[in-house]
C-alpha cells in the first residue's frame, strides 16, 4: 500500500525556500508555495498565477503573484507565536499528494502551558479560483487567543513591484484586496471569507499592504477551536465582473461548508488518479517518487483554459519568468496525452494560437515562417533576454544567444502537434491552426538552409542545440534531425488535406503554393546534412566537436574559480571542451531510435554520458530512455530515480547570483513518467494498436498503468513473465 505522504518533522528555517517547492499545492490556475500561514515574502511565500504577466522598467517580465489570502498570525496571551520567530516544542508539515492537501502542526510552550496550531489547505480542483483552509487552535490551559487573519499584499516579486496600487474592501463577511498591475493595468482581485465554530470578538484593520480581521477568544483546556477560510482569486482577464464573481464564489462555499468543499476536491483528484496512478510492485521508493512527480504535473495542468501552456517551473513562482519552453512539448506532453488528452490539446492550442508571435520573431531576424519564442509569454512574446547570465567576476551581464540560435524550438512544437494527432486520432487541431503552424515552421527551417558551392547537401549553421554550453555551432545533429522531421511532417500535412474539412483545405490552398512548397520541403528533407557515425560509431554532436579538449566533468569542475560561474558562453570552463550540459545526440537517438542500429545507439550512450554534466533537470530522463531502448534497464534506473526525485531531494540550483532560479521541475517529472511508461514499460503504438516491449528493472515485480489511445482507455499490466493489455472503463 502506497503512503502518498511526504513529511518533514522539526523546524528548519533554512528549508523554508526549498519546502515552498516541495510542498506546493495548485490547480492549474494558481500555485501556492508550501510555506506556513504566518510566512511572508521573506520566506518567498507566493500565490502564483498562470499566464498573467507584468514588467517593471528594464526588469524581466514575469508572472504575477497574487496577494496572499491565507495569511494568518497567532497571538497567545498578548505575544505573537510565529515561526521562525518563536521556536516550537514540536513541528511537522506534510503533503498528502493523493488528496492534494498540505498540513502543518506546531506546538509552542508558553509561560502558562502549551498551545498547538493545526492547519490544512488546498487549491480546489473543482473550482480553479478557490483556495480553502482550516485553522485550529488548542491549549492545555485557558489561553487568551487572538487569531489575526486576512490578506497580505506585501508580495514577493523577483523583478517587481508589479502592483502600482491596492484598494481594500470590507463587505459583510468578506474582506478583499484589488491590485492594479504596472504594465497593463490589469486587476487582480482576492476576496476572503471566514467562519468560526466558536464565539469570538472580531475587529477589522487595514494598512497600505494588509487587511486583517482579529478573532479574540479564550480557550478551554484540550478543546479545539476551528476557523475555516475560503479565498477567491480572479483577474480582470477572467471576467469583467471579477469582484462580483469572487464574492459569489466565497458565499457559495461558505454556505456549503468547509468539509463539503474539501470532499468535492478530493473526489476530483480521485478521478485523476483512477487513470494516472502508476503501480510498481517491488520498489516502493520508485512508485512513491513517480506518483509524487505526477501530482506536480496534475497541479499545474491548465484545465480552466482552452489555450494555455505550462511554464518551465510550473506554478512555483516567478522563476524563469514564468515562460513556456520546449520542456512542455518534449517532456511533459506524453503524460497528458496518455492520461488527459484534453489538457494536451490545451497546451498545443497555446502554440497554434501564438503562431503570429512566432512569425513576427522570424521576420525580425529576416527569416521566413515561424521561429517560436525560446521563453514564451502571452501572445508568443519571447521573454528571453540577450543577457541571461551575469559574469561573476566583472558583475557585468554576459551576451548569450539562447533566444537567437536555439532554432530547435520550432521543431518541438511540430513534434508535439504530430504526437497529439498520432495518439488521439484527432485531426481537429490541424484544422484550428495546427496545419499552418507545421507549414510555417518548415518554411522557417527552409529559409535557414545553406549550401556550399562544392557540396550537394544543405547545412544549418550558427545554432545552439540542447547543449547550451556550446553556442553558435554548425550542423548540430539534433537540430538538423528535427528540421528534417519538420519538413517531412509538413509534406504529411499536405497529404492530409483531403481528409480535413473543405473549409480547412481551401484555406490552406489559398494561403500557400502547395506543390511548390512540397517540392522544396521534399528536397530539403532529402538533402539536409544529417551527421552519421564515425569510425568509432560516435555521431559528432556538431562540426568540430571531437576536436575540442577531451576531459572529464570532474576536471572541468576543478577549473572553476567561483561556484556560481557559468560553464558556457564565450569564456565558460566547458566551452572549449567536450563536456556538455545535457543530453543532445542522446536526445536525438531517443526520439528516433530507428535511425541507426542498436550498437550505434549503445556506443553513443557510452561516449556521451561520461561527458555530460547533467546541468539541466531535462538530461537524466533522456539517458534513461535510451538505456531502456538498448536493453540497459539497470543503467537507466538511477537516471529515472534522479528525474522522479527532482522535487523531493535537495541540492538543486536555487540561485544564480542574486536571482532566485529555484522552483519545481515539471519537465523532470514528465521525463520520469516517460521513462517508466515508454522506457521500462516499453509502450509503443503500431498498426493502431497498443503494444509493449517490457524492460523492467530486476527489482520490479509488476508495472501497471493506464493510457488513452485513439479515444479508448487501456490498462497495461506487466511482470517479468506476463503482459496483458485490455480496454477498460474510466
- Residue 616 is given by DSSP the state S
Dist CA 191 CA 170 (whole Å): 9
Predicted confidence (pLDDT) at residue 658 exceeds the cutoff of 90:
no
Residue 656 has pLDDT above 70, yes or no: no
Q: Give the model's pLDDT for residue 163.
A: 97
CA–CA distance, 496 with 498 (Å, rounded to integer): 5
Q: Where in the chain is the domain with CATH 2.70.98.40?
A: 5-250
β-pairing, 659-660 vs 389-390, is unpaired
Cα–chain-centroid distance for residue 660? 16
> What number of other Cβ atoms are within 10 A of residue 169's Cβ?
15
Q: Where are the alpha helices (DSSP H) in 449-595?
A: 477-496, 502-511, 514-527, 553-559, 585-591
Q: What is the rounded average pLDDT of the residues 333-348? A: 98
Average pLDDT over residues 113-128: 98
Q: What would the pLDDT profile of 377-422 be if each residue is shown by its tens digit?
A: 999 999 999 998 888 899 888 999 999 999 999 999 999 999 999 9
**For residue 330, is pLDDT > 60?**
yes
Instruction: Tell me the percentage of the chain whose pLDDT exceeds 70.
Output: 99
Residue 587 in contact with residue 478, Cβ under 8 Å? yes
pLDDT band at 650 (very low <50, low <70, confident <90, very high): confident
Q: What values do phi and psi take at 380, rounded to 5?
A: 85, 10
124/112 Cα distance (integer angstroms)? 39
Q: What is the mean pLDDT of residues 621-644?
A: 98
In this structure, the dihedral spanned by the alpha carbons of residues 536, 542, 544 and 545, taken in order and rounded to 10 degrees, is -70
pLDDT at 530: 98
- Half-sphere exposure of 312 toward its Cβ, with a 13 Å CA cutoff? 22
Pairwise CA distance, residues 606 & 206, whole Å: 63
Cell of 602: 549503445
Fold of 684-730: Maltose phosphorylase, domain 3 (2.60.420)
pLDDT over 80 at 429, yes or no: yes
The CA distance from 78 to 101, in Å, is: 31
DSSP character for 632? -
- Summarize pLDDT for 25-45 with one digit per residue, the tens: 999 999 999 999 999 999 999
Please state which CATH class domain 5-250 belongs to: mainly beta
Backbone angles phi, psi at 131, to 5 degrees: -115, 150
47 and 233 in contact (C-beta within 8 Å)? yes
| CA–CA–CA angle 165, 171, 174 (5° rounding) | 85
Q: Where in the chain is the domain with CATH 2.60.420.10?
A: 684-730
What CA–CA distance (Å, rounded) separates 565 from 561?
A: 8
Using 50, 70 and 90 to split pLDDT, how confident is the model at 568? very high
User: By the 8 A CB rule, do 163 and 178 touch?
Assistant: no
The string of DSSP codes covering 352-409 is HHTHHHHHHHHHHTT-SS----SSB-GGG-B---S--EE-TTT-PEEP--HHHH-THH
- The answer to whether the Cα torsion of 654, 656, 657, 662 is positive or negative is negative
Average pLDDT over residues 226-248: 97
Catalytic annotation, residues: 468
DSSP 8-state symbol, 650: S
Examine the pLDDT at 226 and tell me if it is beyond 80. Answer: yes
First-to-last alpha carbon distance for the chain, in angstroms, is 22
Angle at 603 between CA 602 and CA 606, to 5 degrees: 85
Quote the pLDDT of residue 660.
79
Q: Residue 187 pairs with which residues in a beta bridge?
A: 180
Integer Cα distance of 590 and 618 in angstroms: 13
**In a 3-state reduction of DSSP, which class is residue 211?**
strand
**Number of CB atoms found within 10 A of residue 89's CB:** 11
Q: Tell me the HSE value of 541 on the side-chain side, using a 13 A CA sphere.
A: 33
- Mean model confidence pLDDT for the chain: 96
Given this model, what pLDDT does residue 389 score?
86
Q: How far apart are CA 99 and CA 125, in angstroms?
A: 10
362 within 8 A of 370, measured Cβ to Cβ: yes
Please tell me the distance from the alpha carbon of residue 59 to that of residue 62, in angstroms, as a whole number.
Answer: 9
Torsion sign (Cα): 250, 255, 256, 257: positive
Amino acid at each position: 500500500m502506497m503512503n502518498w505522504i511526504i513529511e518533514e518533522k522539526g523546524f528548519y528555517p533554512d528549508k523554508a525556500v526549498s519546502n515552498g517547492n516541495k510542498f506546493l499545492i495548485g490547480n492549474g490556475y494558481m500555485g501556492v508555495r508550501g510555506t506556513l500561514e504566518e510566512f511572508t515574502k521573506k520566506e518567498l511565500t507566493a500565490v502564483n498565477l498562470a499566464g498573467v504577466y507584468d514588467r517593471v522598467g528594464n526588469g524581466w517580465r514575469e508572472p504575477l503573484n497574487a496577494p496572499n489570502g491565507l495569511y494568518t498570525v497567532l497571538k497567545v496571551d498578548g505575544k505573537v507565536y510565529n515561526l521562525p520567530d518563536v521556536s516550537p516544542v514540536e513541528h511537522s508539515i506534510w503533503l498528502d499528494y493523493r488528496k492534494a492537501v498540505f498540513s502543518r502542526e506546531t506546538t509552542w510552550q508558553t509561560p502558562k502551558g502549551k498551545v498547538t496550531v493545526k492547519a490544512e489547505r488546498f487549491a480546489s480542483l473543482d473550482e480553479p479560483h478557490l483556495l480553502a483552509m482550516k485553522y485550529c487552535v488548542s491549549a492545555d490551559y485557558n489561553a487568551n487567543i487572538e487569531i489575526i487573519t486576512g490578506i497580505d499584499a506585501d508580495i514577493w516579486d523577483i523583478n517587481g513591484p508589479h502592483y502600482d496600487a491596492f484598494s481594500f474592501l470590507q463587505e459583510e463577511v468578506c474582506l478583499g484586496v484589488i491590485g492594479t498591475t504596472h504594465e497593463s493595468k490589469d486587476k487582480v482581485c482576492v476576496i476572503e471569507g471566514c467562519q468560526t465554530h466558536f464565539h469570538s470578538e472580531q475587529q477589522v484593520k487595514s494598512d497600505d499592504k494588509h487587511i486583517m480581521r482579529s478573532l479574540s477568544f479564550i480557550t478551554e483546556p484540550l478543546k479545539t477551536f476551528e476557523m475555516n477560510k475560503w479565498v477567491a482569486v480572479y483577474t480582470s482577464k477572467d471576467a469583467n465582473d471579477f469582484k462580483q464573481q469572487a464574492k459569489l464564489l466565497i458565499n457559495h462555499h461558505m454556505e456549503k461548508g468547509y468539509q463539503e468543499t474539501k470532499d468535492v476536491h478530493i473526489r476530483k483528484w480521485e478521478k485523476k488518479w483512477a487513470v494516472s496512478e502508476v503501480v510498481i510492485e517491488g520498489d516502493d521508493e520508485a512508485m512513491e517518487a513517480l506518483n509524487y512527480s505526477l501530482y506536480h504535473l496534475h497541479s499545474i495542468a491548465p484545465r480552466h483554459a482552452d489555450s494555455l501552456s505550462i511554464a518551465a517551473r510550473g506554478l512555483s513562482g516567478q522563476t524563469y519568468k514564468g515562460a513556456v519552453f520546449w520542456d512542455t512539448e518534449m517532456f511533459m506532453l506524453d503524460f497528458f496525452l496518455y492520461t488527459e488528452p484534453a489538457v494536451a490539446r490545451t497546451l498545443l492550442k497555446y502554440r497554434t494560437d501564438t503562431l503570429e508571435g512566432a512569425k513576427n520573431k522570424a521576420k525580425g531576424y529576416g527569416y521566413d515562417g515561424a521561429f517560436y519564442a525560446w521563453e514564451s509569454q502571452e501572445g508568443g512574446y519571447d521573454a528571453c533576454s540577450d543577457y541571461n547570465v551575469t559574469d561573476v567576476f566583472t558583475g557585468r551581464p554576459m551576451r548569450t544567444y539562447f533566444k537567437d540560435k536555439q532554432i530547435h524550438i520550432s521543431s518541438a512544437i511540430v513534434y508535439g502537434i504530430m504526437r497529439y494527432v498520432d495518439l488521439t486520432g484527432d485531426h481537429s487541431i490541424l484544422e484550428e491552426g495546427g496545419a499552418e503552424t507545421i507549414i510555417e515552421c518548415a518554411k522557417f527551417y527552409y529559409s535557414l538552409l545553406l549550401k556550399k558551392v562544392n557540396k550537394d547537401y544543405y547545412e544549418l549553421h550558427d545554432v545552439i542545440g540542447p547543449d547550451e554550453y556550446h553556442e553558435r555551432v554548425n550542423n548540430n545533429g539534433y537540430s538538423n534531425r528535427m528540421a528534417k522531421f519538420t519538413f517531412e511532417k509538413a509534406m504529411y500535412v499536405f497529404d492530409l488535406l483531403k481528409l480535413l474539412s473543405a473549409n480547412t483545405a481551401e484555406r490552406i490552398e489559398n494561403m500557400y503554393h502547395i506543390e511548390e512548397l512540397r517540392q522544396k520541403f521534399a528536397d530539403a528533407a532529402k538533402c539536409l546534412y544529417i551527421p552519421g557515425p564515425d569510425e568509432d560509431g560516435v555521431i559528432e554532436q556538431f562540426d568540430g566537436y571531437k576536436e575540442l579538449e577531451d576531459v572529464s566533468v570532474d576536471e572541468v569542475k576543478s577549473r572553476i574559480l567561483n561556484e556560481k560561474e557559468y560553464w558556457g558562453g564565450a569564456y565558460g570552463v566547458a566551452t572549449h571542451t567536450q563536456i556538455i550540459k545535457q543530453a543532445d545526440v542522446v536526445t536525438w537517438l531517443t526520439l528516433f531510435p530507428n535511425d541507426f542500429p542498436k550498437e550505434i545507439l549503445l556506443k553513443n550512450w557510452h561516449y556521451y554520458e561520461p561527458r555530460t554534466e547533467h546541468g539541466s533537470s531535462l538530461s537524466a530522463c533522456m539517458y534513461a530512455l535510451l538505456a531502456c531502448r538498448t536493453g540497459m534497464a539497470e543503467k537507466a534506473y538511477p537516471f529515472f530515480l534522479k528525474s522522479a526525485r527532482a522535487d523531493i531531494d535537495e541540492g538543486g540550483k536555487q540561485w544564480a547570483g542574486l536571482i532566485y532560479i529555484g522552483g519545481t521541475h515539471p519537465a523532470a517529472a514528465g521525463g520520469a513518467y516517460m521513462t517508466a511508461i515508454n522506457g521500462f514499460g516499453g509502450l509503443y503504438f503500431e498498426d493502431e494498436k497498443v503494444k509493449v516491449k517490457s524492460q523492467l528493472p530486476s527489482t520490479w515485480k509488476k508495472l501497471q498503468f493506464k493510457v488513452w489511445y485513439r479515444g479508448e482507455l487501456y490498462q497495461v499490466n506487466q511482470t517479468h513473465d506476463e503482459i496483458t493489455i485490455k480496454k477498460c472503463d474510466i
